[in-house]
A and B are shown apart, each in its own frame.
Chain A
Amino acid sequence: MAAADQDRIIRVRGLVTRFGSHVVHDGLDLDVRRGEIIGVVGGSGTGKSVLLRAIVGLLKPAEGRIEVFGQSVRDTSDAEYRALRRRWGVMFQDGALFSSLTVRQNVEAPMREQLQLAPDLRETLAAIKVRMVGLPENAQDKYPSELSGGMRKRAGFARAIALDPEIVFLDEPTAGLDPIGAAAFDILIKQLQNALGLTVFLVTHDLDSLHAICDRVAVLADRRVLAVGTMADMLEVDHPWVREYFHGPRARAALASSVTEGAA
């Protein structure tokens, strides 16, 4: 039991969030296991991004308990929260890069704030991270406004993994990318998850991502987590929205392509 508890890197219990009278989550429970890629799906407005924000402490839930690494995110001192924050990285939808800094300086930013490193070393390590996410060498010194949407997302990912975190939270990493770019990003996530031993919390709409890289899927509907399990489990769930989502024409296409890829 103790081992199982340790395995749960994120533990959300009875989460309630609301904006005014609008209730987003009502008694939401979710566990994330160490080393997995969990995909969080749900219709627009079901609070996927809100859940992400609540877990990383950007948003204060009305009720409930959120534990990351066995430590509550809400009831901690500032120092503890800072230490906690160093162990995860967040990538926002459009990268959320600092527009006044170059790509490499963006990746250096968390190192600069959290660690005392010599500038040379910081630059070398940041440059490695920028190359790791597959950005070309000439992107290092470019400003975010000079990059395409896909490159900005990669740069945002590089910043999220700057400190070799244990968990990365990715908010719709493949949204707005062309299918080739999206597939390449999926592969990148998988590769870096292996190499860096990451746990990945992936908010997504992309059925191909779910098939390609997610170990488990959590479905948000009716203000809570309706179902958690593998893709195969999802096909069995009897709920109108889940049925429509995982049995719709797009889902079938994604499934078919992942099966042929698996066979090849």
Chain B
Amino acid sequence: MPKSINGSVQLSVADARLTLTGRLDIGVVGRLDPHAILAQGQGQGVSVLDIAGLSQIDTAGAWFLLDLERRIATRGGSIAIEGASAVQAQLIERVRANLAPDDIPPPPRKSPVDHLEEFGRKTASAGRKSVELISFLGQTVATIAGIVVHPKRLRLTSLVHHCQEVGLNAVPIVALMAFLIGVVLAFQGSAQLRQFGAEVFVVDLIAISILRELGILLTAIIVAGRSGSAFTAAIGSMKMREEIDAMRTLGLDPVTILVVPRVLALMIMLPALGLIADVSGLVGGALMSWIELGVSPAVFQSRLVSNTDVWHFGVGMIKAPFFALIIGIIGCYEGMMVGGDAESLGRMTSTSVVLSIFMVIVMDALFSIFFAVVGV
């Protein structure tokens, strides 16, 4: 008596024949239990698997039949598949030819030594990457020096385009960011300084922190996120489409054409953006001081001029081109490192942003030490 083991396939056992009827396809196979089927056939010495009643089998169905056959063989029995139509037999044979080879070695387990080796490899590759990055920096600087000697090599149109892209178009976001930082500093500073009756020192707090550190640092971080990533994505997608290789075969130097205009544009525009950030940060701070502490803009201005050394501004501005160089070089270098697949483009873009922000902060720390030593 046929027993339905599933909605669409039935099983019956009689006279040493295991008979399957119905459909045996990928939707059914997943819900079948080979153990249950084997258990049914076990006691009766089944030697024939009759599939004449199967209306439809697909690759998964054929695999299932072969899997049953294999399971019986491993128990020392044997079973013959009978009743397949010509098409079904062809399919079964094709699947049989493509079963997993028996001698697949199991994947080797990782020992502690392997982990150590991996760590070593990663360290070595990080070291190699630093060397490559520095040589890329050297190449770019050499190309820029070459341009100073032969100014005609400069791609002026490209430079102006990138100046607009990284500089002018970033003005609103940079100005707003710095304005809000000024507001926050004034607000937080006044709350603390009021306890000592030293409200007026809020001007010094704002001026020094914005001019010396925050204005340029936060601008650099925004530019790294905005333009560094854009550099990597643009150069990376050109690399993917073999445009960089095409340039080289045409005798065009990708560093001159792609990297130098971007890096120069950043070096020109980042100080300008830093200046804008300084001004709008001070405006934000002055506004909040006026509202919160009643420090009038006139008082703010006179205290700013008389009490803040111009070197605070100088220190901020000196750092700007260096930050720009870091962002530009890392952005372009990571773009050049993009491989053939879309995955690496995304990975390199995020590496570029993270690495350039990190390096900007490291550089800022080094500058702090340097200026402390020289006493500015």
A positions within 8 Å CB-CB of B: 99-100, 111, 115-118, 121, 124-125, 127-129, 131-132, 137, 143-145, 163-164, 191, 194-197
Contacts and interface: CB of A to CB of B under 8 A. Distances in A.
Given A115-B27, A115-B30, A164-B58, A125 B63 contact: yes
9 contacts: A125-B26, A128-B59, A128-B63, A128-B99, A129-B59, A143-B341, A196-B58, A196-B59, A197-B87
A234 B95 CA distance: 37
Given A128-B59, A128-B63, A115 B26 contact: yes
Q: Which of B25, B94, B340 has the most CB of A within 10 A?
A: B94
A245 to B, nearest CB: 31
A82 to B, nearest CB: 14
A132 B99 CA distance: 9
Interface of B: 25-27, 29-30, 58-60, 63, 87, 90-91, 94-95, 98-101, 104, 339-344
B29 A128 contact: no
Instruction: Name A's interface SS.
Output: helix
Nearest to B99: A128
B26 A164 contact: yes
A76 to B, nearest CB: 20
A245 B104 CA distance: 49
A210 to B, nearest CB: 25
Q: Which of A132, A195, A196 has the most CB of B within 10 A?
A: A195
Given A144-B341, A145-B341, 10 more contacts: A100-B343, A124-B63, A125-B63, A128-B95, A131-B99, A132-B59, A137-B101, A145-B344, A164-B26, A191-B94
A116 B30 contact: yes
Given A116-B30, A137-B101, A125 B341 contact: no
Contacts of A145: 339-341, 343-344
A99 B343 contact: yes
A195 B340 CA distance: 35
Nearest to B342: A99
A61 B91 CA distance: 37
A143 B339 CA distance: 13
A111 B340 contact: no
Given A99-B343, A144-B341, A145-B340, A118 B63 contact: no
Contact of A132 (B27, B98, B100, B104): B98
A46 B30 CA distance: 44
Contacts of B87: 197
A128 B30 contact: no
Contact of A164 (B60, B100, B104, B341): B60
Contacts of B60: 125, 164
A255 to B, nearest CB: 29
Nearest to B87: A197
A131 B98 contact: yes
B234 to A, nearest CB: 19
Nearest to B30: A117
Contacts of A132: 59, 94-95, 98
Nearest to A121: B30
B90 A194 contact: yes
Contacts of B342: 99
A111 B26 CA distance: 9
A145 B341 CA distance: 6
A121 B87 CA distance: 24
Contacts of A117: 26, 30
A144 B339 CA distance: 12
Q: Which of B87, B98, B340 has the most CB of A within 10 A?
A: B98
Contacts of A196: 58-59, 91
A195 B27 CA distance: 19
Nearest to A116: B30
Contacts of B59: 125, 128-129, 132, 164, 196
A195 B94 contact: yes
B34 to A, nearest CB: 11
A209 B340 CA distance: 29
Closest A-B pairs by Cβ, 4 of them: A164-B58, A131-B98, A145-B341, A99-B341
Nearest to A195: B94
A118 B29 CA distance: 10
Contacts of A163: 26
B63 to A, nearest CB: 6
A88 B259 CA distance: 47
A163 B60 CA distance: 9
Nearest to B100: A127
B98 A128 contact: yes
A194 B86 CA distance: 11
A160 B341 CA distance: 21
Given A143-B341, A164-B60, A196-B58, A121 B90 contact: no
